[in-house]
Structure 1
């Protein structure tokens, strides 16, 4: 029997697995990747009795491989907050799905574990740009202003680390970052006792964000801003968190953060207005490589000539 942990390489996926493995330590195989690498189950082979944990990955996008693994005799624990499609009725599947706009996978796991590692869940909520939810949870947990600023920064840094066109763009491989985090029962222990890793993330984030905020919009109206970033590693890293930052600064405006993926395609991060956290998934879904959630979505490979088609779709939706 093998244990296999499959998780999105962003703050939510990492913090969800950190909670589970702190509660139930396992010597497991880790399968992860950049934030946009969501078809991770295609990389997994399993046999009868193998136990899989799948976190923060759309069940709909992995439906065929999920059934393949279940039919091979694997047991699958699946937690996620994206559109699941039709959830298989199979004895080997334990599904924990909640698509509410106010939750994320780490908060689903937090409930599953009865708040056993609640601070890691709050960290993930900040990282997933559920700022209002995270603030309420931090208040209820009695966190001081300084403590909530610390976990907020860590959540944002963990999320930032997942963005890029490939693993080489990232500061840390997500599997390595998980290993660094799971060594600590709380995010505060990680922040204060693993200064080398924390400061590496902090420096990368702040340097990249400063560069990103200097880029003027290519297209801007009262309801929409489109930011086109240069073909640089830092630009691909900052694409998602820049969208979150701008969404917080301009809560009534939708945003598209566009970076160069290759000679013919853009990588796009979409953010719905914070005052209307809906529609991003519908817009992204109009393009073959698009997907995501109501508040935040992306397009993995947008043909460059279709950028204005994307702008038209966003204008139509948010007009």
Structure 2
């Protein structure tokens, strides 16, 4: 009787183990299939979340992580064409063009964690690291037909910072600034100064170049970054390179600041038009108490890895993550 009972128990354990194993295989396969089915944006967001959680653990040991886990964020190929940005008759509509660009900025901001996920959380770093980590969300280029129409109509893509403050994104009930900060801008005088400042520099997007919408991260020592954010609260100061001259400019707004500039530090997410390689629009949102300066930028693709902005000893992007 005992022999039969022992045999029965052994068989039961074997069956339970087999069923559990098959169940795990099934669950794993289901997760893999669902992972394959979800969009690239969700995959990117999930990988950022995993990296940020891992970085929090490692930051306690005073280690700066290079790439804690793989960031699964493939680049999008975006074409700005005439069909989607013109009315009947071929007239280019400025808001439609900028709305398409703004949509890519929104998309990049959202899938990389909206400034709240830090995959490079530091501990004990004295100052900014030698590396600037960049992840390209999208590559944008203008179609030949669009460029022909733009030349015929003397059309230029410019004044992007002003657009982010004043114009609702097509199909949405908010401006890009409102989306990224959760606040509104009520200071009409400051907004007007932003418009005038952009116009005075006359910067526009070179339509013959490929442009990258990218996420960029710089890492700072907590104490140093805290002093930096405190000292610049309420006003945003940046260096602008224009016609060989260096200019300092800042315009304070109700819930943040907007400026024309090349280097940006602030306590909130802020739209900027940066004079980097002719044109660049960036958003900065350091996490509260965080050690990483996170930006969403638009910049010429061919200048990211090999060029140092004027006045800087660092490359614009020293490490491309995708």
Same fold (TM over 0.5): no
Greater relative contact order, per chain length (Cα 8 Å cut-off, separation 6+): 2
Q: Please tell me whether Structure 1 or Structure 2 has the larger radius of gyration of its CA atoms.
A: 2
> What TM-score do you get using the length of structure 2 for normalisation?
0.30
